[in-house]
């Protein structure tokens, strides 16, 4: 996996991003081609649309994560794990677990962040990020915590 262009900002280095990724089971990042730092303004200058408040994105067609906005170390780590969470949801866990999240856990309406309320994909990605960054916080939603611990993070 290529990690690059983080020298354009001062929050996280390339090595720090690589070390974050190494905390995950290998299957959670094995198929990701790259994690890049590219400010949204640079993409918009190339006529690539990026929503105004977008901090990052998982681009499935390129198997790449592009981080657009890093404001603090804590938020940056959350954004990176959130985007990896999208990759895991769409590529790693399989249709049975995706369906279980979508039909059983998302409808329970216990959301870790307001952003998680948008749809099951964002709910999973936010829960994944919080599991990695603040597991004790996700533990307040036992069903989602147990799903992450026993179903998602056991996939090696």
Angle of helix 120-133 relative to helix 73-87, nearest 10 degrees, comes to: 130
What pLDDT score does 49 carry?
Answer: 82
Query: Measured between alpha carbons, how far is 149 from 135 in angstroms, rounded to an integer?
Result: 10
Q: Name the pLDDT band for 40 (thresholds 50, 70, 90).
A: confident
The count of domains in the chain is 1
Domain housing 94: 2-152
Query: Measured between alpha carbons, how far is 83 from 67 in angstroms, rounded to an integer?
Result: 9
pLDDT tens-digit map of 4-38:
999 999 999 999 999 999 999 999 999 999 999 99
Other CB atoms within 10 A of residue 135 CB? 12
Cβ-based neighbours of 5, under 8 Å, separated by 6 or more: 36, 37, 38
Q: What is the pTM of this model?
A: 0.94
Query: Measured between alpha carbons, how far is 133 from 27 in angstroms, rounded to an integer?
Result: 19
Average pLDDT on 124-153 reads 98
């Amino acid at each position: 996996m290529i990690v690059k262009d983080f020298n354009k900002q001062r929050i996280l280095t390339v090595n720090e991003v690589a070390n974050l990724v190494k905390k995950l089971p290998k299957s959670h990042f094995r198929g990701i081609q790259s994690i890049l730092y590219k400010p949204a303004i640079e993409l918009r200058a190339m006529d690539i649309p990026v929503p105004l408040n977008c901090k990052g994105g998982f681009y499935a067609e390129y198997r790449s994560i592009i981080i657009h906005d890093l404001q603090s170390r804590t938020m940056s780590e959350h954004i990176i794990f959130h985007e990896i969470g999208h990759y895991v949801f769409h590529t790693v866990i399989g249709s049975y677990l995706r369906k279980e999240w979508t039909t059983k856990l998302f409808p329970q309406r216990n959301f870790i962040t307001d952003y998680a309320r948008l749809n099951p994909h964002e709910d999973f990605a936010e829960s994944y990020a919080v599991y990695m960054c603040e597991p004790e916080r996700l533990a307040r939603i036992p069903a989602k915590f147990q799903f992450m611990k026993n179903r998602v993070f056991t996939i090696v």
